[in-house]
Structure 1
Amino acid sequence: MHDHPTLDGYAWPTCSPCGRELWVAEAGRLACRPCEESTATRIAELPALFRRLDTTASLMRGARRSGGGSSGSKNPPIPPRLEVLALVGPGGVAARLRDIEDAWRSALGWTVAPWRGSPAQAVPQHAAFLANNLLWACGSYESVGQDVDDLRRLHGECVALVNDERRPGRVQIGACPARYDDDSLCGQPLTATAASHRVRCGGCGSRWETLGEWRELRAAQERVAEEQQRREEVAA
């Protein structure tokens, strides 16, 4: 149970990443301490995960990790794992961490960090910066929820590839029915996967996690579809 009083008509502050109500001791924070701790663990693990991915054995399907085999083999090279190359190359882990670091530096009023060389050189430095400034982000950075979610996904992708897991595909589940303050419709395509009960809109940030919220999502989508159909009928 939370240790805060129940006040009628008052919306108690919630954690931006997970949506849980904050404790009194967490007053003023944007992210709860469990989210901070789990994110800190993921950040700390990313450099080692990257090193494991950035090896010939990980990049080549079925490559031997050590010994046995002639270097002069006439067999064709094993096809590279493109999903691994996407994470270790340009636009991969290093770039995704860099984007978060640059956003935090901008919010802090600091200069953007200079280029740090190859992704292998950059990842540990990006991770160190994020680890050192995570407490600030959880307490003061308005977009921390998105960054915590991005770090969770990035860590999950790395773990899945390191463990050679086959991640389930995503399926389209319709458009986002949320509306902005000016009553305009978001309309961003939504996807879901059997690996998670969470649905999050990449456009407006709306999320649905429980069975009840999934039903609300479907009902809202149906209302939007009915409104669009009525407009089309009037226009015809």
Structure 2
Amino acid sequence: MLMKGSSRISGPSGSKTPPIPPRIDVLNLVGPGGIAARLRDIEDAWRAVLGWTVAPWRGSPAEAIPQHASFLANNLLWACGSYESVGQDIDDLRRLHGECAALASGEKRPGRVQIGACPVRIDDGPCGTALTASTGSHRVHCGGCGARWDGLGEWRDLRAAQEAVLAEQAGVAA
């Protein structure tokens, strides 16, 4: 205000345009619990089974991620042959890769919707695994019993079977 040519500002200072909304998918990968933390958790589990000490602090995520990836690549053969939970870790790595690839390519990942419990009979009752459907596919797959439903006709059969199980459970409870 004391400078020649300056004017008095009335109202709040700053931009009149709102800030750009954050991209949640980016924040999920770079923030706490993101890529570095997920790779670190797998590495720490492998180190614990091997009887090695937990790796020392590695600095920022940008510094840590290459070290985690290098450790996992160097010990993958051991894990495949000797580590019981390697399948789960490989699934986690595959999911993480998919998230990173989708983010890098700018593609929008299809959403998932809960569609109820699996009605397939196993031994003494229904499987009961929670089923989800993707907005990008016409296929539903049960992770519990392996049952599949493809296309609209089979989806109708799935819904009818779910309703039959619900009616049966309601009749037993009454």
Band the TM-score falls in, shorter-chain normalisation: 0.5 to 0.7
- Deviation sequence 1:198-236 (CA, Å, 0-9, x none): 8676xxx63748668xx9999788667645533431332
Would you tell me which structure has more strand in proportion to its own residues? 2
1:149 aligns with 91
2:150 aligned with 1:206: no
Tell me the distance in 2 between the aligned counterparts of 1:173 and 1:190.
6
Partner of 1:60: none
Within the alignment, does 1:235 sit opposite 2:173 as a pair? yes
- Letter matched to residue 161 of structure 1: L
Question: Over residues 98-151 of structure 1, what are the superposed CA-to-partner deviations in whole Å (9 max), with x where a residue is unaligned?
Answer: 111122122222222233222112111111110011111111222211111111
Amino acid at match of 2:130: P
Aligned AA for 1:139?
G
Cα gap change, 1:222 to 1:113, in 2 (>3 Å): farther
8 A Cα contact 1:173 1:192, kept in partner: yes
Label 1:173 to 1:119 Cα distance change in 2 as closer, same or farther (>3 A): same
Q: Determine if contact 2:117/2:162 at 8 Å carries over to the other structure.
A: no
What is the distance in 1 between the residues matched to 2:165 and 2:46? 41
1:95 match: 37
Query: Which among 162, 168, 192 is matched to residue 133 of structure 2?
Result: 192
1:81 aligns with 2:23: yes
Q: Percent identity?
A: 68
CA contact (8 A) 2:116 2:162 kept: no
Contact 2:40 2:68 in 1 (8 A): yes
Higher relative contact order (CA 8 A, sep 6+): 1
Partner of 1:114: 56
- Separation in structure 2 between the aligned mates of residue 197 and residue 135 of structure 1, nearest angstrom: 36
Gaps of 5+ in 2: 1-14
Counterpart of 1:131, as a letter, is A
Match of 2:11 in 1: none
Q: Distance in 2 between matches of 1:217 and 1:107?
A: 43
**Contact 1:199 1:207 (8 Å CA) reproduced:** no
Contact 1:97 1:123 in 2 (8 A): yes
Please name the residue that 1:132 is paired with: 74
Which of 91, 98, 102 pairs up with 1:160?
Answer: 102
Q: Whose Rg is larger?
A: 2
Unmatched 5+ stretches in structure 1? 1-72
AA matched with 2:132: T
1:171 equivalent among 103, 106, 113:
113
Counterpart-to-counterpart distance in 1, 2:162 and 2:149: 20
Of 80-89 and 189-198, deviating more is 189-198
Task: Classify the secondary structure of the residue corresponding to 2:72.
Answer: helix
1:209–1:146: structure 2 CA closer, same or farther, 3 Å change rule? farther
Cα deviation, 1:34-84, whole Å, max 9, x if unaligned, reads: xxxxxxxxxxxxxxxxxxxxxxxxxxxxxxxxxxxxxxx986653332211
Helix, strand or coil at the partner of 1:79: coil
Q: Which residue of 1 aligns with 2:7?
A: none
